[in-house]
């Protein structure tokens, strides 16, 4: 019977864990998602980058299953605050915070223009990253 109790507890806890994972902010750059470099992010390319369907639909304003850089920029104009991914709220993105939301070390270096070890909002704005 004890084993059954454990199972019950695990079942009660697990939904909470998966929910926490799905709400963790993620980000990807338009250029890295556009794997075939045709300046369009298709639904397939977005899915490979881990973008949920609902987010894709929100960015794809005309609903043709393709995100153009114009659509990407329009979304970025509304959703480009680093607050969403700045977990310790010091108004800048550390390497740890960047890696957690899906950035590679190389991508971090590109955005960290003054090489301070942090990405500021100003530096973030110069990139083509989409936060969701
Ligand atoms: Ca493409
Ligand atoms: Ca579109
Ligand atoms: Ca921070």
9 pLDDT more than 90? no
What are residue 131's DSSP bridge partners? 27
Ligand number, closest to the Cα atom of 66? 2
Q: How far apart are CA 61 and CA 74, in angstroms?
A: 9
Ligand number, closest to the Cα atom of 100? 3
CATH architecture of 25-131: Orthogonal Bundle (1.10)
How many angstroms does the Cα of residue 120 sit away from the middle of ligand 2?
29
Answer whether 31's CB lies under 8 Å from 130's CB.
no
Torsion angle, CA of 76/80/85/89, rounded to 10 degrees? 180
Q: Which two tokens stand for residue 104?
A: 């590679």
Domain map of the chain by residue range? 25-131
Mean pLDDT of all residues in 63-76: 97
- Report pTM: 0.79
What are residue 129's DSSP bridge partners? 29
How many angstroms does the Cα of residue 99 sit away from the middle of ligand 3?
12
Q: Which two tokens stand for residue 85?
A: 């991914």
pLDDT band per the 50, 70, 90 thresholds, residue 124: very high
Q: Could you read off the pLDDT of 96-114 as tens digits, one per residue?
A: 999 999 999 999 999 999 9
């Amino acid at each position: 019977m004890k084993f059954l109790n454990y199972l019950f507890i695990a079942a009660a806890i697990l939904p909470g864990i998966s929910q926490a994972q799905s709400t963790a902010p993620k980000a990807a750059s338009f250029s890295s998602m556009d794997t075939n470099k045709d300046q369009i992010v298709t639904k397939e390319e977005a899915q490979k980058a881990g973008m949920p369907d609902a987010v894709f639909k929100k960015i794809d304003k005309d609903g043709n299953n393709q995100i153009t850089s114009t659509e990407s920029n329009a979304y970025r104009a509304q959703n480009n605050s680093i607050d969403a991914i700045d977990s310790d709220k010091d108004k800048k993105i550390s390497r740890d915070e960047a890696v957690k939301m899906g950035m590679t070390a190389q991508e971090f270096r590109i955005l960290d223009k003054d090489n301070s070890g942090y990405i500021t909002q100003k530096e973030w704005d110069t990139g083509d990253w989409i936060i969701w």
